[in-house]
Amino acid sequence: MDPSQDRPLAGRRIVLGITGGVAAYKAAELCRELVRRGAFVSPVLSRGAERFIGAATYSAIASEPARTSLWESPEPSPHTDLGQRADLVVVAPATANLLAAARAGSSADLLTTTLLATRAPVLLCPAMHTEMWEHPATRDNVATLQARGVQFVLPESGELAGGDVGAGRLADPMAIADRCVELLAGDGQLAGSTVLVSAGGTREAIDPVRYIGNRSSGRQGHAIALAALARGARVELVTTAPDDPALTGTSITVTPVESAQQMHDAMLERASAADVVVMCAAVADFRPADCADTKLKRRDGLPNIALEPTPNILRALVAARRDGQVVVGFAAETDHLRDNALEKLDGSGADLIVANDVSRADAGFEHATNAVTIHRASAPADPRARR
C-alpha cells in the first residue's frame, strides 16, 4: 500500500481549536484521527472547553501538550508561533460565541488570536443548539466568514444535548478529518491555476410553470469543482443546482443559471480568465422557440410547441479558447458510447471528451457514482497551442 494513502497528512501541522460546547469530547476522536493520518496536531483549548474536557486528554493524544493560555507558554508569542507554523487551523466544535468572535476579529484568548495570526486555511465546524444555529445573527456570521474564504463543515441534524432533536450536532469526526485531507493532501497540484466548471441540467421554459429539462443533478460537476479546489486551484462554478450543501463553506465562486442561453453567456464571460474549462453540464439541445407568458391550460387543447436549437456552448468555448487553455467536454449517451463521444470530440475541437453512459442502472444521472471513458484529441502540430 502507498504510505501516502494511509498517512495523507504526513508532514502537515494542524492547530486544533476546541471551544466550550458539550461536543468537545468528540474533538478528542478527531484529534486522534488527524494524528493517525500523519498530522502534527497542536491542540488549543478555550476556557469554556476546559469545563467539558480536560487539557490532559488532548496532551495525551496530540503531538504536543495542549495549550490553554496566552500567558502560560514557552514561546513569547504563542499565537503568532502557532499561526505561522500551521498548514491548517481547525476549530471543532466552533460555538456561536467563537463564530461571532472570529467575524469581529476578537483577540480575547489564545485561540482567537491564533485565528487572527494565521494565513493558513481555517476550517470551522459549528456545534450548538438548533435555535442558536438558526438564529439570524449566527447565519450572518457564517455567511460573512464564508465570504472571507473561511471553510466550514456544517453541523448535522440529530439528537442534541438535553434530548432535543434538530440541526446543530457536530459533524462526524471522520467527515471533518476527510475535509482536512481534501484541503491539504492535494494542495499545490493546481496552485495558481483557475478552473471554470459548468454543472447541472438546464431548464428551457415552456411557460412560467413548465420547462424542458433532463435528469442531471449537477453532482458530477460539483465533485470536479471540489477536487480542483482541493488541489489548490481558484475555482468558478456555473451551475443550475447552486444549493448543493457540498458547496457550502468553500471558496468556490458559484454563478447560478437556469437556461442554456444563461449558461452560454456565463461561461463565455468567464472563460478567458480560466486555465482549464470543464463543460460538464447537461445542456438541452433544443428549447421552445417561444415561451408562453401565462400557464398553458389543459382546456385549451394540446399546445403546438415549436423547438429551436440551443447555443452549442462547447463549440463556442473552443472557438474562444486562448493559447494554453484546456477545454474538456462531456458526452452523456445511452448507446454507441464510443462512436458518439469521438464524433463530439472531432466536431467540437475540445482537448478531452468524457463519455458518460447514462443508460446504466448503477451509475450516471441521479446516482452518487459514475463510470466514464475519457477520449483525448490528437496532439496539435504546434505544441504551444495546448498543454
> Domain boundaries in the chain?
3-184, 194-376
Which residues touch 70 (CB under 8 Å, ≥6 apart)?
78, 79, 109, 110, 113
**Residue in the block written with cell 455567511:** 143
Domain 3-184 has CATH 3.40.50.1950: yes
- Determine phi and psi for 182, rounding to 5 degrees: -60, -40
Which residues touch 2 (CB under 8 Å, ≥6 apart)?
none
Can you give the pLDDT at residue 185?
A: 65
Give the number of C-alpha atoms closer than 13 A to the C-alpha of residue 308, restricted to the C-beta side.
9
Cβ atoms of 215 and 365 closer than 8 Å: yes
Catalytic residues: 214
Query: How many angstroms from the chain centroid is the CA of residue 141?
Result: 19
Can you give the pLDDT at residue 176?
A: 93
- With helix as H, strand as E and coil as C, how does 185-201 read? CCCCCCCCCEEEEEECE
Domain 194-376 has CATH 3.40.50.10300: yes
DSSP element (H, E) containing 303:
none
**Residue in the block written with cell 493560555:** 69
**Residue in the block written with cell 483525448:** 376
Domains 3-184 and 194-376 share a fold: yes
List the chain pLDDT tens, one digit each, 387 residues: 344 457 888 888 999 999 998 899 999 999 999 999 999 999 999 999 989 898 999 899 999 899 888 777 666 577 678 888 898 999 999 999 999 999 999 988 999 999 999 988 899 999 998 999 999 999 999 989 988 888 899 998 887 776 777 788 899 999 999 889 888 865 557 777 899 999 999 999 999 999 999 889 898 999 899 888 877 788 999 999 998 877 876 778 999 999 999 999 999 999 999 999 999 999 999 999 999 999 999 999 999 999 999 999 999 999 999 999 999 999 988 899 999 999 999 999 999 999 988 888 776 676 667 788 999 987 443 433 333
Cα–Cα distances (Å) from 212 to 206, 220, 300, in that order, read 7, 21, 20
